[in-house]
Amino acid sequence: METTPAFEGLRCVDCGETFDPETATHRCPDCEGILDPTYDYDSVELDRDDLESRRFESMWRYEELLPFTCDSAVSMHEGTTPLVECPRLADELGVERVLIKDEGQNPTGTFKDRGQTLAVTAAVQHGASDVALASAGNAGQAASAYAGRAGLDSHVFLPTRSGFTNKAMVNVHGGDMTIVEGRIGDAGAAYEDAMADHDDWYSVKTFETPYRHEGKKTMYYEVVEQLDWEVPDRVVYPTGGGVGLVGMQKAAEEFRDLGLTDDLPAMYAAQAEGCAPVVRAFEEDRDTHEAWDAPDTICGGIEIPDPGASPLILDALRESGGGAVATSDEDILDAAVLVAQHEGIEMGATPAAAASGAWELAQQGEFDEDDTVVVMNTGTANKDADVVRSHLMGKGL
Ligand SMILES: *Cc1c(COP(=O)(O)O)cnc(C)c1O
Ligand SMILES: [Zn+2]
């Protein structure tokens, strides 16, 4: 495998055992726990000048802190997305600065590309011929795109509710698509059945592969560099499976431990009221979530009733001094429209949960006047422009 020098192996977050990444490819061979890439940080020589001297053209510029070499990457220059100053939102929220990290500008329109560039690179390194996953939509689209680029076949299981663009583009990328009646859990069950019949399919599903959260962590590195090495006070993230949040928390600790920054930002999980298992667990002071009974939100990307990594998410929220917030679909769609009208930035229905959550947190008095708040726009509005527009039309606009 073409691994980077500091990459040591994969550590199980449950039993603590470490494994060789050549042979351990997905969950912990001993206990089925989530595996997390580890590095010998003492051997990583990175300073601010090094990083600043590199071109800002792909997330692979942080190669030393990724498992695979840049040369081996299945990449379309994902990442290095804009961090856009939003002065009107800052006024409205009563804070010094609001910045939107615009992940809509990734190759397939969402930050899922950061996870798939790494997961599909790993699949190639492991000699896979086929990749497979269940997804609410965006991850499936991203996986079929990266698989196509790598010359692999992809098998994508989506629920009926996933968006038209996702379904269309999985087809266009040549993915083998199965649409499953119901919600994400139903798509997940169909995927499990199919995996049991195909032992040559390589999973690129959330937290099955150790590499999706690892790819998404680069969002945080970029934010800090774009803020000239200032650590934001708050980061608000639309949370489903929590892949990005767990990844960013790891990144924040890495940058601090490498001496590149001094602090950690407070991390906030924003969810929709119709499916908020992480918010409920946070409020009830529990270490893990309870599955949400009847998930129902227009925000498909975060309609995740049973997020297996909730202990990691809840740890990140508590260790960083952040929190969790849920708002209604109505408020979320209003926030998508408001951001589009006041700042020009196109937020999809799912990411707008982060904008709406930021408002709610501001109203609860969670933010200080001199705060810098970063809102993660995880995907472009083009993915579900129909949803946001029909919200306006429903109001007679
Ligand atoms: C998948 C997705 C999310 C949720 O991501 P997690 O990291 O799994 O919590 C948020 N926004 C969009 C647009 C997504 O596609
Ligand atoms: Zn284990």
Residue 241 CA: nearest ligand 1 atom is: 8
137: in domain: yes
Predicted model pTM = 0.98
Residues 362 and 224 in one domain: yes
Q: Per-residue pLDDT for 34 more than 90? A: yes
Residues 197 and 126 in one domain: yes
Residues 88 and 64 in one domain: no
Report CA-CA distances (Å) from 229 to 102, 218, 222, 223, 296: 19, 14, 10, 8, 39
Give the E-state strand segments of the chain in sequence order.
Answer: 7-12, 18-19, 35-39, 83-85, 97-102, 130-134, 153-159, 176-180, 201-203, 234-238, 266-272, 323-327, 372-377
Q: What is the dihedral of CA 120, 203, 271, 38, to 10 degrees?
A: -70
Instruction: Determine if ligand 1 sits within 6 Å of the CB of residue 249.
Output: no
Residues 193 and 216 in one domain: no
Q: What is the mean pLDDT of residues 217-245?
A: 98
**Domain closes at, from 44, 72, 100:** 72
Q: What CA–CA distance (Å, rounded) separates 111 from 109?
A: 7
Q: Which two tokens stand for residue 249?
A: 């928390």
Residues 125 and 102 in one domain: no
Instruction: Determine if ligand 1 sits within 6 Å of the CB of residue 110.
Output: yes
Indicate the residue type of 305: P
**Domain closes at, from 203, 234, 250:** 203
77: in domain: no
14: in domain: yes
Indicate the residue type of 106: N
Residues 177 and 51 in one domain: no
Tell me, in angstroms, the distance from the centre of ligand 1 to residue 47's CA.
31
Residues 87 and 129 in one domain: no
Which pLDDT does position 397 carry in this prediction?
Answer: 82
- Nearest partner of 163 among 205, 203, 135, 191, judged by Cα: 135
Ligand 1, atom 14: closest residue by C-alpha: 301
156: in domain: yes
Q: Are 211 and 122 in contact (CB under 8 A)?
A: yes
Instruction: Determine if ligand 1 sits within 6 Å of the CB of residue 108.
Output: no
| Total length of the chain | 397
**Domain closes at, from 181, 203, 225:** 203
* 275: containing domain: 83-109+212-394
- Find tokens 């260790």 and name the residue: 319
Q: Per-residue pLDDT for 40 more than 90? A: yes
Residues 218 and 272 in one domain: yes
Whole-number percent of the chain with pLDDT over 90: 99
Question: pLDDT tens, 138-156?
Answer: 999 999 999 999 999 999 9
Residues 139 and 244 in one domain: no
Q: What is the mean pLDDT of residues 22-27?
A: 96
Residues 280 and 143 in one domain: no
Which residues, 6+ apart, have CB-to-CB distance to 348 below 8 Å?
104, 110, 301, 336, 378, 379, 380, 381, 382, 383, 384, 388
Residue 5 banded pLDDT, cuts 50, 70, 90: very high
Question: pLDDT tens, 81-91?
Answer: 999 999 999 99
Ligand 1 pocket mutation, candidates 268, 378, 382, 388, criterion most atoms within 8 A of CB: 378
| Strand duo 7-12 + 18-19: pairing | antiparallel
Residue 138 CA: nearest ligand 1 atom is: 15
Which pLDDT does position 273 carry in this prediction?
Answer: 98
Report CA-CA distances (Å) from 126 to 3, 91, 115, 280: 12, 50, 17, 39
Ligand 1 pocket mutation, candidates 78, 101, 138, criterion most atoms within 8 A of CB: 138
1: in domain: no
Which CATH number belongs to the domain containing residue 380 in this structure?
A: 3.40.50.1100
Q: What is the mean pLDDT of residues 363-383?
A: 97
Q: What is the dihedral of CA 54, 56, 58, 59, to 10 degrees?
A: 80
159: in domain: yes
Residue 41 banded pLDDT, cuts 50, 70, 90: very high
